[in-house]
Each structure stands twice: as structure tokens, then as C-alpha cells.
Amino acid sequence: MSDAVQLPSTILRIPRLGSARSLMNALIGIAALLGVWWFGGFIVENDPDLYAFADFAPAPTLERLWEMIVSGEVLTMSGPSLERVGLGLLFAAAFGVPVGILIGRAPRIHEVTNVPFQFLRMISPLSWMPIAVMAFDTWDGAIVFLIAMAAVWPILFSTAAGVRRIDPAWLKVARNLGARPLHLLGTVILPAIAVDVMQGIRLALGVAWVVLVPAEYLGVTSGLGFAINDARDTLDYSRLAATVVVIGVIGFALDAAIGQLVKKFNWVRATAH
């Protein structure tokens, strides 16, 4: 404790130091991942039994990735995937947010729906695949359905939890000032839960992005999942590995973007009191 008192200038600098340090730590992590990847490639390359897979190594992969970016192939393959994930999330939110609000507001509805929803939530979204294929005319429809089935639960439960945390005094004050039910929804409930909804969407995106690739193994002839499957079938391993990198990078970027939205909607300020 006494040391800390003697070093005020160091303490003041910690925030700046901290951000530089965390950036450096992130770079170390990335370098470590590349190192493991490179080492795996090195072993494969020097093993006569595995030599066919040498294109998985970083050098051929990144070279191929660059070609794919320049040729626009990366955009062509990720466009349809982003559209499917976006639509799936949209349907999931269109169902999950209103139902989540109802569940959060009405304990009775919560009690009635809790067991069925928890039951459905635990079913792997991919197990709906045969049903989805039968129920939808198009492969795209089936894929969007699978993504929505995966994405709806985090959004719904996060919304409901947010509504339950709303301070009852806010509603009392609003009613006293003449708020009608739509005012309560628009001025109190939705702004209060915006951050919970965004956090739900962030979780949902994580699940949806994972479900996307196997879902795109279905009949479609576009998208990242199809590209993976296609590269495997044509033994084009550098393309396969490059696609994996693309999937990871896009997923990371989307998550970071929604993370920023979560921050934006978070109304809790650090106060001095």
C-alpha cells in the first residue's frame, strides 16, 4: 500500500499503458496462433503420408487468400452468407424481442412458456434440418429457418431478462406523468432493454455464424459453407483454408461491430457518486 502512495505518477499513467499492453498482448496471441498453424504446416509438409495436405499451411493459404480478395471471390462467397445470417437474425429478433417483452412483463406467460422454450432451446438447430428441407420450397428458405431457430433463443431470453430488471418506479413515474401503454413501451421499456437486446443479438450472431456453415452444406451453390464443401470435393486445400480464414475474420468483425453497438446502447455511466 505504501508503495502505491509513493508512485502517483505511475498510477496515473496506467490507463494508457494498459491499452498499449493489451494491444501488444493481442498481437502476441495472433502471433502464437500463426506459429501453431505454421508448425502444423511444417510437420505436414515433412511427413510423406500427409504431404497432400501441405496447402493448409499459412504461406499457400495466405497467398491464395490474397488472390481471392483481388479477384473479388471473397465478396462473392460471403455476400449470400451474410444475407442469410442477416435474414435469420432479423426473423429471430422479430419474434424474440416482442415475445421476450411479453415474457418479461407477464409472470404468467413466463411460467407457461418457460419449459417448452427451454426444451426447444436445447435442441441443436441442425436437427431441424430434415424438417426445414421438407417445410421450405427453397434451400435458402431452409437455411434462413435454421439460422433463425439458432438465433431466436439468446435474443428472447436476453430481452426477457432485461424487461424483468426494469425499475418498477420508472413505470410508476411514467404512468403518473400521463404515459399510455405505447409511451411506456417506446419511452421506458425499449430504451431500458436496448442493451440487453443487443447483447442477445450478439450471442445470437455467434450461434448463427456457427450454424451457417453446416447449413450451407445443404443444396445451395453459394456462400461460405458451400465454398468449404466445394473446396474439399475438388481437393483445393489452400482455397479451403483461405475460406476458413475468411469465415473467422468476418465473424470476428461482426462480433466487434455489435460489441460497439452494445456499448452505444448501454446507458449506464460511471458516476463519481
Partner 1 sequence: MAMTLTLSDSAAQGTQDAPRRRPAPVGAHVAIKGLSHAYRRHDGKVLDGIDFEIKAGEVVALLGRSGCGKSTLLHMLSGLTHPSEGEVVINGNTIREPSPKWVMMFQAPSLFPWMTVAQNAALGLKFTRRNDQIAKRIPEILDLVDLGAFADRNAQELSGGQQQRVALARSLAPKPEMLLLDEPFSALDAFTRRNLQRDVRQIARDLGLTLVLVTHDVGEAVRMADRVIVLKANPGRVFEDTVITLSEEERSGGSDEFQAEHSRLMNIYSQAADAPGEATETTNDFTQI
Name the minimum Å distance from CB 162 to partner 1. 13
Q: Give the chain's largest Cα–Cα span.
A: 79
* Piece of 90-98, 144-152, 205-213, 263-271 that binds partner 1 (CB under 8 A): 263-271
Separation of CA 240 from chain center: 22
Nearest residue (CB) to partner 1, 119 versus 267: 267
Q: With contacts defined by CB under 8 A, how many residues of the chain interact with partner 1? A: 25
User: Are 146 and 125 spatial neighbours (Cβ–Cβ below 8 Å)?
Assistant: yes
Nearest residue (CB) to partner 1, 123 versus 173: 173
Nearest residue (CB) to partner 1, 116 versus 178: 178
Cell of 113: 412458456
Name the minimum Å distance from CB 66 to partner 1. 45
The DSSP output letter for 188 is I
Nearest residue (CB) to partner 1, 187 versus 206: 187
Cell of 211: 450454424
Nearest residue (CB) to partner 1, 6 versus 271: 271
Name the minimum Å distance from CB 198 to partner 1. 13
* Angle subtended by helix axes 190-215 and 224-233, to nearest 10: 20
Per DSSP, the chain holds a count of helices (H) and strands (E) of 12, 0
Binding flag, residue 261, partner 1 (CB under 8 A): no
Backbone φ/ψ region at 72: left (φ over 0), alpha (ψ -120 to 50), beta = left
Which residue is listed with cell 430434415? Answer: 130
Closest CA to 56 of 33, 38, 30, 73: 38
Contact flags string 160-199 toward partner 1, x per CB under 8 A: -------xxxxxxxxxxxxxx--x---xx--xx-x-----
The DSSP output letter for 267 is -
Name the minimum Å distance from CB 78 to partner 1. 35
Closest CA to 58 of 244, 272, 247: 244
Name the minimum Å distance from CB 205 to partner 1. 23
Nearest residue (CB) to partner 1, 81 versus 199: 199
Nearest residue (CB) to partner 1, 5 versus 177: 177
Name the minimum Å distance from CB 89 to partner 1. 24
Cell of 196: 440487453
Contact positions with partner 1 (CB under 8 A) in 27-66: none
List contacts with partner 1 (CB under 8 A). Answer: 167-180, 183, 187-188, 191-192, 194, 267-269, 271, 273
